[in-house]
Amino acid sequence: MWIIEIQANELGGHSNQKGNLTICPNGWAIIPDDFVVPESFPFVDIEVEDGFVTAMTPREMPEPEPVEPTDAEILDALLGVSENE
């Protein structure tokens, strides 16, 4: 079973879980096995009826947070060390 939290998080995505689940907790809905999920998943708007997702509309995905280099990466760059060495 694949389930999705009905309430989106602060970034607009939905928590979801897939596995050998036996119940669907309150505040969650079941995604039917044959449901076509948009590429933007989990950034979607969902419609739910009787505990099942009946529609998903793609949402704009947030830009990823920039990854700061580690101190070791900065030092390697300053020393001219390559990962291939």
What pLDDT, on a 0 to 100 scale, did the predictor assign at position 40?
94
What pLDDT, on a 0 to 100 scale, did the predictor assign at position 25?
95
Residue with tokens 């390559």: 82
What pLDDT, on a 0 to 100 scale, did the predictor assign at position 74?
85
* DSSP H stretches of helix in the chain: 71-79
What pLDDT, on a 0 to 100 scale, did the predictor assign at position 84?
54
The DSSP secondary-structure symbol of 8 reads -
Mean pLDDT by 10 residues, the chain (85 residues): 95 93 95 95 96 95 81 86 60
Tokens of 43: 């950034």
The DSSP secondary-structure symbol of 57 reads E
What pLDDT, on a 0 to 100 scale, did the predictor assign at position 82?
64
